[in-house]
Structure 1
Amino acid sequence: MTSFRRRPLFLPALAVLVAATGCSSTDVSESIAVPSPPAEEAALCRALDAELPDSVAGQDRDDPEPSSDLTAGWGDAAIVLRCGVPRPVGMSDPQGQGVDVNGVNWLLEERDAGPRFTTTYRETYVEVTLGEQYLHDIGPLTELAGPVKKTVPATL
């Protein structure tokens, strides 16, 4: 009888755990921290948002929450863009890696969850986080470089 009395407590706990697991996801609509840049940079970000494509790397646009002109997303958390982010610490690292994609320079930060790229030499920093399926693929940056180049002036 003792085990019978414990079962009802165990089953509800299991049900809560299963429900919580079912509710958690990496969907891009999850909450993403919205940057808070100065007004001039925010204006550049709004212009960038208006130029962003409806799809990137075959992923449809699915913006994160809370809704903002400073953030955008494509796919199931595959590609997330944040505009007006603070200068990354990695930019001070003389060993930092960078790539040039269609005339836009990006700092590469390798992470287990997928790479993060942040523009360099631009009037505001634009960060693009790619899911782990893009671990060795910067292809999505080719579709984002044009809008960045058009709306966020270079500082050189």
Structure 2
Amino acid sequence: MRFSRRVVLISVSAVACLSAAAVYTFAPGSDDKIAVPVPDAKVATMCRALHAELPAKVNGLSRHDLKPRSDLIAGWGNPAIVLRCGVPRPAIDLDPNADAVDVDGVSWSFDRLGNGSARLTTTLRMAYVEVTLPKKRATDVYPLTDLAGAVKHTIPEGIA
């Protein structure tokens, strides 16, 4: 079978475009499609309660719907600060030397991602709540102060 150079270049270009689109679509902080967690029923109930109590503003940024619409995700600003509730326990929690922060009575593990964004995940709660801060907002944890009250009120302390 013989391939012409034109067919090969078109195929390579198409694959490159699809790959770039996939990376963009699921990039943390993107307002496009966000991976929705799939927790068990008990955790999903807590997450729906959290969703109902989330603030209209986080760090001065307005809340808006993400795609797909779900009670398990929320976003503020653009690029978005993204909250996902019901995520699995992060691997970083197994590292005794991992960075962590306590904000208004809610403990969070801290993980800097390769693209410059930061992922913070609750610890010692009955459901894991993950907040991804896009690169331009990843230098501080102030957004967590706006989220701590809702997390404390809806996600009980304990070990998930």
C-alpha distance in 2, partners of 1:73/1:52?
10
Q: Judge which range, 104-113 or 81-90, deviates more.
A: 104-113
C-alpha distance in 2, partners of 1:82/1:39?
16
Q: Give 4+ residue runs of structure 1 displaced > 2 Å after superposition.
A: 24-29
User: For 1:90, what is the secondary structure of its paired residue?
Assistant: helix
User: Hey, what does 1:8 align to over in structure 2?
Assistant: none
Ranges in structure 1 where 5+ consecutive residues have no aligned partner: 1-12
User: Hey, what does 2:63 align to over in structure 1?
Assistant: 61
User: Hey, what does 2:126 align to over in structure 1?
Assistant: 123
Per the TM alignment, residue 120 of structure 1 is displaced from its structure 2 partner at its CA by 0.2
User: Hey, what does 1:4 align to over in structure 2?
Assistant: none
C-alpha distance in 1, partners of 2:65/2:110?
23
Per the TM alignment, residue 115 of structure 1 is displaced from its structure 2 partner at its CA by 1.0
C-alpha distance in 1, partners of 2:121/2:64?
20
Q: Cα RMSD (Å) of the superposition?
A: 2.1
Q: In the TM superposition, what whole-angstrom CA distance separates every residue of 1:114-142 from its partner, at most 9, and x where no partner exists? A: 11100000000000000112222100000
1:138 corresponds to 2:148:
no
User: For 1:61, what is the secondary structure of its paired residue?
Assistant: strand
Q: In the TM superposition, what whole-angstrom CA distance separates every residue of 1:56-78 from its partner, at most 9, and x where no partner exists? A: 11111122100000000001133
C-alpha distance in 2, partners of 1:125/1:63?
20
Question: Percentage identity across aligned positions?
Answer: 50
Number of aligned residue pairs: give it: 137
Preserved CA contact (<8 Å) 1:28 1:63: no
The two structures have a TM-score, normalised by structure 2, of 0.79
Ranges in structure 2 where 5+ consecutive residues have no aligned partner: 1-12
Q: Judge which range, 39-48 or 90-99, deviates more.
A: 90-99
Output the amino acid matched with 2:89.
R
C-alpha distance in 2, partners of 1:41/1:129?
20
1:148 corresponds to 2:151:
yes
Larger of the two Rg values belongs to structure: 1
